[in-house]
Amino acid sequence: MPEIPAKPVLLTGAAGNLGRVLAAGLAERGWTLRLTDIAPFPDPLPPRASFRRADLNDGVELLRLAEGCGAILHFGGISVERPFETVMGPNLRGLYHVYEAARREGARVLFASSNHSIGFHERPKVPDRSQANEAKLGADCAFRPDGYYGLSKAYGELMGRLYWDKHGVENVNCRIGSCFPKPVNARMLSTWLSYNDLTRLVAAAVLAPRTGHCVIWACSDNPASFWGQDHRDRIGWQPEDSAEAYRAEVGHVVSGDPVEERYQGGSYASMAYSRGAPSPRDPFALG
């Protein structure tokens, strides 16, 4: 498997925290990158990279940026919980423009999905590696978004399903847990994704011979992970880092909010929460 893609790779959201990590990490591997964001790129431009400011709502500009690209890494859009009207444009319409560009170019899409697409699943009682796989969520679990941001990520994965079934556009949906320099609380012992594991995941997804439509739990090799089966074998990715090294430092850091601590989405689940009692574990049960 080659280490450098044959065609340029388009990265949306390049000025964001994860976009900047990827721009630097993939440039170090010798990749030719086209970077774009609605905000200016704050760092020195990496070798073999170009940058153009663009709004994801501008479908014509996305088509221009994607011309000749073999893959689109879609990290653009609203990246935190916001009102629906704020999320709708970049995260729904913008995603459509990305997939239309991919369809025209025959490009693969890596979609930066999120654990917040399934955030209202309850946490395992004692999440650890000794649990049977069925105790952890598989990639085919039901969507249970914990807010409008999470809802947009579920929409994005379904968009990928549609474009694979109807147009043959390959797509890798990475349900990112908590991608920061290090874990900062007990929840992140389950959800943390290191920057190096993120870069290795993205590189594997682009370079894999075939992906079809697949879903990957994007977290490091954390014994306490909430998540189990996915399609990582399809791209040959295995995380190398682990949150466990930080257990003594952050294992005692909890919020004290019963809603936040009950659900996998953490604080996103507790935002504007008005339900009198917890929703049932079975998403279709009365309760």
In the prediction, which pLDDT does 96 show?
98
In the prediction, which pLDDT does 133 show?
55
Structure tokens at 174: 């990475």
CB 128 within 8 A of CB 101: no
Please tell me whether residue 182 adopts helix, strand or coil conformation: coil
pLDDT bucket at 285, cuts 50 / 70 / 90: confident
Average pLDDT over residues 228-254: 98
CB 72 within 8 A of CB 64: no
In the prediction, which pLDDT does 280 show?
84
CA–CA gap between residue 249 and residue 161 (Å, rounded): 40
In the prediction, which pLDDT does 142 show?
96
Average pLDDT over residues 117-141: 79
In the prediction, which pLDDT does 1 show?
43
Judged on CB neighbours under 10 Å (0-12, 13-18, 19+), 14 is buried
Position 130 pLDDT exceeds 60: no
Fold of 9-270: Rossmann fold (3.40.50)
**284: Cα within 13 Å, side-chain hemisphere:** 1
Position 36 pLDDT exceeds 50: yes
CB 95 within 8 A of CB 62: no
CA angle 190, 14, 204 (to 5 degrees): 55
Residue 90: how many other CB atoms lie within 10 Å: 21
CB 226 within 8 A of CB 123: yes
Q: Which of 99, 149, 155, 263 is catalytic?
A: 149
Residue 149 annotated as catalytic? yes
Which residue reads 């990490």 in tokens?
Answer: 25
CA–CA gap between residue 266 and residue 118 (Å, rounded): 11
**Averaged pLDDT of the chain:** 95
CA–CA gap between residue 92 and residue 95 (Å, rounded): 5
Average pLDDT over residues 249-268: 97
Position 129 pLDDT exceeds 80: no
In the prediction, which pLDDT does 125 show?
77
